[in-house]
Amino acid sequence: MATRNKKQVAQRWYLGGIASAGAACGTHPLDLLKVHLQTQQVAKKGFIQMIAHVLRNDGFFALYSGLTASILRQITYSGVRYGVYELLKGRMLKSSEGQPISLSVKLCMGAFAGACGGLVGCPPDLVNVRMQADIKLPMELRRNYRHGLDGIWRVAREEGVMVLWTGGSAVVMRSIMMTIAQIVVYEQVKQFFLYKWDFEDNIPTHFLSSFVAGVAATILTQPVDVLKTRMMDAKSGQYKNILDCVWYTAKAGPLGFYKGFVPACIRLTPHTILTWLLLEQLRRLFPPPST
């Protein structure tokens, strides 16, 4: 079997956002169903029932409500997460002369990159949640944002700029855990497959590594994701702060923090897989300048 070059290199920083936006186009209906399930205080409908409800009442294309906001969110939120991580990785590799980076350092880089992505991506995330939840509301109460940018503009104009960061603490926490799971776990699992089990650096390896990362991301982020979705979809003044939202959600019991877990896993795992499959191919098409 051919010997692999184990020297690590930093990749182009902007490819992650492009790959993540592409993956969002394929998994958006699952994200919409997840939002609908998470915003139920009492679990009245399951995954299949919710699909039937949306199709029956609003039609097939309602499953793509908020797609423009979702793409905008991935370009900003995931673009910053992956971009900052790669920039930090490049600096660390340069200082260590290309030697492997320790897991503890990767965790710190992932946490910082995730926090940056959460802050930048909160406004489109809020609009994304609202556009997806709109079809649940009576016609006279719907916000009817035309697209992601229109939603951001209207929120800032009608409710105030700071409202765009509603649920910001939950978004940042979720983004930190998401980045650690999607990027750091992926890198560690892929490294294990390549150098411990002697796998080839190919699509099956990328698929297996991203599958593990996607499941890990769902488990880590689901409680915070429920809180984030509830706060963003809430009416003005419904929750005083994130602790108030935690208390309200806890009334339904511990499993209240894992509402929509199945569709979240069904959505997030394929999204992670598609993102990494696209990203690995983009990396081959557009290698780092130094390679």
Residues 149 and 102 sit within 8 Å (Cβ to Cβ)? no
> What pLDDT does 175 receive?
93
For residue 257, being part of any structural domain is answered with yes
Q: Looking at this protein, which amino acid is placed at residue 19?
A: A
- Split at pLDDT 50, 70, 90, the class of 38 is low
For residue 154, being part of any structural domain is answered with yes
Helix (H) or strand (E) holding 204: helix 203-233
For residue 5, being part of any structural domain is answered with no
Total domains, the chain: 1
For residue 1, being part of any structural domain is answered with no
- Split at pLDDT 50, 70, 90, the class of 166 is confident
Q: Which domain holds residue 68?
A: 15-284
Q: What is the rounded average pLDDT for all residues in the chain?
A: 84
For residue 64, being part of any structural domain is answered with yes
For residue 7, being part of any structural domain is answered with no
For residue 2, being part of any structural domain is answered with no
**Rounded Cα–Cα distance for residues 19 and 60 (Å):** 25
- Split at pLDDT 50, 70, 90, the class of 290 is low
For residue 290, being part of any structural domain is answered with no
Region of 98 please: left (phi>0), alpha (psi -120 to 50) or beta. Answer: left
**Scanning the structure block, which residue is given the tokens 């260590």?**
96
- Split at pLDDT 50, 70, 90, the class of 216 is very high
> What pLDDT does 112 receive?
97
CATH classification of the domain holding 261: 1.50.40.10
